[in-house]
Amino acid sequence: DKLLSNKTEMQLETCYMYMVAFCRSLVSWYLNLMVAVVVVDLVVSLFHNSKLRYYGCYFCYIMTASTISVIYMPFLLLRFHDPANILFASQPAVMLARLLGIEWELRGGKYIAKDQA
């Protein structure tokens, strides 16, 4: 019985070490992506071509939104069916949108006034 508990402990430690290594590599990848997004945004802002700027900002926003969704997925699954999840996950996207100079227009706000999923 003691041997089984030691084996289980070792498996849990190994699993924990893999999870920590995965999280570290994910954070490193995310930081590299954010640096690339800022560099692309700065390069695109040097050009006065509005079409190039639009597609550059769109690319940066989509890449960051995709990365944020992958990173936050385990945390959002812990609070399944909670409408407040969108507020938690949208904060980095809002900051990026401000950095890129994206302006939003809300249409049909009366339909989202209810707090339901």
Q: Which residues contact 60 (CB under 8 A, 6 or more apart)?
A: 37, 40, 41, 96, 100
Domain ranges (residues) in the chain:
2-112
pLDDT band, residue 41 (cuts 50/70/90):
confident
pLDDT band, residue 2 (cuts 50/70/90):
low
Q: Which residues contact 101 (CB under 8 A, 6 or more apart)?
A: 57
pLDDT tens per residue, range 47-76? 777 787 778 778 777 877 777 777 777 777
pLDDT band, residue 113 (cuts 50/70/90):
low
pTM of the predicted model over 0.85: no
Using a pLDDT cut of 70, give the percent of the chain over it: 89
